[in-house]
Every structure is written in structure tokens, then in C-alpha cells.
């Protein structure tokens, strides 16, 4: 009893002092408006949950789609999709249209894994290749043996292509399309001959850069006549390809004449002097020493008048010096024609025509341009 009443389990703490806690202010200031949006409605505080979502936008960008426009395609025999290879096959008279691109061929393969389109020929029952591809993009038309086209980069590899550029024709072994305005070609034949299968002459462009409707820049090039190389060549060359009026070289025609040997006719240079006036300087040369010169100019002022003027001179040599049939003659011809436009003055009209020169000009001339006037035996003028 004594222990239970007067004993303690532990010492009682001393009294006499109170320990107060020390207050420390938080240095981080938080604006509640940045955490929650609050609005007052009818004197009641309403917490808006708008903008409190902690889900962030995904930083991983999705892969771009392979085709960004509608693709239209068809084929006569079949269209088949190989899911394992990720390829679409179009066979026989296949056609595909995508944006400004158009391809027609015997077979077309769309490779979705590489984002490429392949077009080529097919064999007929006799084993001959038919249905050559026709590739068209914008105003550019190419007819190759086969083509590979990348949808993403719009680059293409074109094999044995044939295309036309402002009156000139290109037959290229390999062409690389960089974009809509630049082509690189290798071992290309450039000619203005209308005989596409067997041109009389062409320039062999070993490596060249082609800008459609603008220019062709090439390195070493030389002329071939009926597939026979000639020494006529240049270490580099520039061919303008423009639909606008521009100055440039006029290629001559080739041939042979019994009395005067081989010749070059109607070759020279064209000067685009202005929108109203031009000038062509042409020449002829024969291996026996004969030669000729022509100056042709045309002028035109819309709704007022127009006309042309020309001067032709030829120094003709027959046979060889020392032979009894040797002869040397000079002939010339001057032509001028002028016509007033009917819109210039509806109540009156004026025209003039002059044709004068050597009396035997049309009978003696050997230029091909004058052949239609061979039977003309009179020179005259009128107004």
C-alpha cells in the first residue's frame, strides 16, 4: 500500500517555463488562380474544372500518310494487293491518277513499304514488249521503257525515255528527275528531226541538265549524221528551250550535189531584235568552193502594218579550175513585201511588193528554199 500511494514510475518534469514553437514562413508562393479557376455565380464560389486536366499532349508526332490525295486506278486484267509485300499490282492497260501525276503502262506496281510506284511494259503472245509507259506530270510528258517514281520526294528514275521540249526531241538512256523543273540525263540524243525512229542528225549529250521549257546545259557533245560521228563538237554547249522569242543557232541541212560536192545549207543565227522586228542570217557552203548568204527580216506592228524583207547572194562555181567546163557566176535577189492592216484604216488599204535581182536567179540558184520558184522567169514590183 505504501509503495502504491507514494511511489512514481518516472520523475515529474520541473515546472516554471513554457516552450513556444518557432514559426517559419514558406518561401514558395503559390497563386491559387494558377491551380484552379474560380467563378462567382449568385454570390456562390464555383470551382471550374476547366484547365485542371494534367494529361499533356503527346510529343510523338504520327507518321505522315503515304498518300495525301485521292488515288484513282484501274486495269483490264486484274488488280491485286499482296498484304505481306505491301504491294498493289495492276496488270494490262493499267492506269493511275494521283494529284497532277498520270501514269499509263502495261503493268504498274505500288510499293507501300518504300512509297514508290513502278511502271513497265508487258509481253504479248509473240514475246514482244508492248504498252510502253506514259508518264505525265503537269505539262511534261515522258514515254520511257520503265520508270520508278517516289511519292514522297517526287524523284524518278526513267529508263530509255522519249520526250519533246519546244520543238526538240530527247531520247535518253537514263534520266533522273529531281523535281518538276530539273532533269539530269545521260547518253541522250537531241535533235529537231521529225523522224523519231531514225533521225538524220542529232547531238549526243553524254551528261546534261535539262530544265523543261527553259534550257539544256551539257558537257562534251558532238554531232552525229546518220549515226556516224563527226568532228563537229564542243567541250560544252547550251541549248535554249523557251516558247518566248529568243536568239539562237539555226541548224543547217545536209546533202550532196554532183557538180559541187557535199553541202551545208540554210544554217546560221537568228536574232530576236525586239517584239516587232527580227533578223535571220543564213549561209550555204559547198565543198567545191561555192557559197551563198541570206538575210531575212520580218516586222509587225499589230493593227497597223507588217511585212518582210530579204536579200540573197550566191557565188556559184561549176566543175574545177583548169577544166574546160569551169565557170563562176554570182547572182542575187532582193525581195520586199508590205501590207497595211485592215484595222489601221477601214476606208483605205496599202500594200507593196518588190522582187528584183539577177534575171537568172531562180533558174541558177541551188538553194532548196528557192526550189518552188524554179519556173519563175520574171521579176517585178507593184504597189
pTM over 0.75: no
> In the prediction, which pLDDT does 26 show?
66
Here the cell at position 148 is 520508278
DSSP 3-state of 40: strand
What's the rounded Cα separation, in Å, for the pair 261 and 44?
113
> In the prediction, which pLDDT does 137 show?
79
What's the rounded Cα separation, in Å, for the pair 203 and 193?
11
> In the prediction, which pLDDT does 34 show?
54
Here the cell at position 165 is 521540249
Walking along the chain (383 residues) 10 residues at a time, the average pLDDT comes out as: 62 62 68 54 53 58 61 88 91 88 91 90 88 84 87 86 80 85 88 83 90 85 89 83 75 80 87 89 89 92 90 85 81 90 82 84 73 59 61
Instruction: Identify the sign of the CA torsion 133, 137, 141, 147.
Output: negative
Burial 1-34 (b: 16+ CB within 10 A, else e): eeeeeeeeeeeeeeeeeeeeeeeeeeeeeeeeee
> In the prediction, which pLDDT does 259 show?
76
What's the rounded Cα separation, in Å, for the pair 148 and 158?
7
Q: Which sequence spans correspond to the domains of the chain?
A: 67-154, 156-243, 245-383
What's the rounded Cα separation, in Å, for the pair 202 and 190?
5
297, β-bridge pairs: 309
Amino acid at each position: 500500500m505504501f509503495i502504491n500511494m507514494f511511489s512514481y514510475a518516472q520523475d515529474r518534469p520541473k515546472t516554471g517555463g513554457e516552450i513556444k514553437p518557432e514559426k517559419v514562413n514558406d518561401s514558395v508562393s503559390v497563386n491559387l488562380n494558377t491551380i484552379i479557376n474560380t467563378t462567382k455565380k449568385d454570390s456562390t464560389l464555383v470551382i471550374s474544372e476547366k484547365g485542371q486536366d494534367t494529361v499533356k499532349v503527346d510529343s510523338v508526332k504520327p507518321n505522315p500518310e503515304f498518300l495525301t490525295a485521292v488515288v484513282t486506278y484501274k486495269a483490264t486484267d486484274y488488280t491485286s494487293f499482296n498484304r505481306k509485300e505491301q504491294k498493289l499490282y495492276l496488270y494490262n492497260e493499267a492506269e493511275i491518277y494521283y494529284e497532277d501525276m498520270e501514269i499509263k503502262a502495261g503493268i504498274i506496281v505500288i510499293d507501300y513499304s518504300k512509297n514508290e510506284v513502278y511502271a513497265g511494259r508487258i509481253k504479248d503472245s509473240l514475246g514482244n514488249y508492248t504498252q510502253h509507259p506514259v508518264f505525265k506530270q503537269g505539262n511534261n510528258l515522258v514515254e520511257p521503257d520503265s520508270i520508278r517514281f517516289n511519292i514522297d520526294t517526287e524523284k524518278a528514275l526513267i529508263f530509255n525515255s522519249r520526250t519533246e521540249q519546244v520543238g526538240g526531241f530527247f531520247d535518253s538512256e537514263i534520266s533522273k528527275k529531281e523535281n518538276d523543273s530539273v532533269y539530269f540525263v545521260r547518253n541522250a540524243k537531241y535533235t529537231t528531226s521529225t523522224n523519231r525512229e531514225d533521225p538524220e542528225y542529232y547531238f549526243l549529250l553524254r551528261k546534261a541538265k535539262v530544265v523543261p521549257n527553259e534550257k539544256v546545259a551539257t558537257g562534251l557533245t558532238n554531232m552525229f549524221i546518220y549515226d556516224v560521228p563527226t568532228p563537229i563538237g564542243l567541250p560544252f554547249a547550251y541549248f535554249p528551250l523557251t516558247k518566248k522569242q529568243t536568239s539562237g543557232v539555226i541548224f543547217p541541212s545536209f546533202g550532196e550535189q554532183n557538180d559541187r560536192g557535199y553541202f551545208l545549207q540554210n544554217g546560221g543565227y537568228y536574232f530576236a531584235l525586239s517584239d516587232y522586228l527580227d533578223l535571220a542570217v543564213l549561209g550555204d557552203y559547198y565543198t567545191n568552193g561555192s557559197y551563198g548568204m541570206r538575210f531575212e527580216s520580218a516586222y509587225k506592228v499589230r493593227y497597223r502594218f507588217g511585212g518582210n524583207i530579204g536579200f540573197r547572194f550566191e557565188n556559184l562555181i561549176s566543175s574545177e579550175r583548169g577544166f574546160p567546163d569551169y565557170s563562176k557566176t554570182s547572182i542575187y535577189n532582193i525581195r520586199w513585201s508590205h501590207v497595211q492592216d485592215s484595222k489601221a484604216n477601214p476606208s483605205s488599204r496599202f500594200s507593196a511588193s518588190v522582187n528584183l535581182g539577177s534575171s537568172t536567179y531562180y533558174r541558177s540558184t541551188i538553194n532548196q528554199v528557192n526550189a518552188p520558184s524554179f519556173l519563175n522567169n520574171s521579176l517585178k514590183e507593184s504597189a
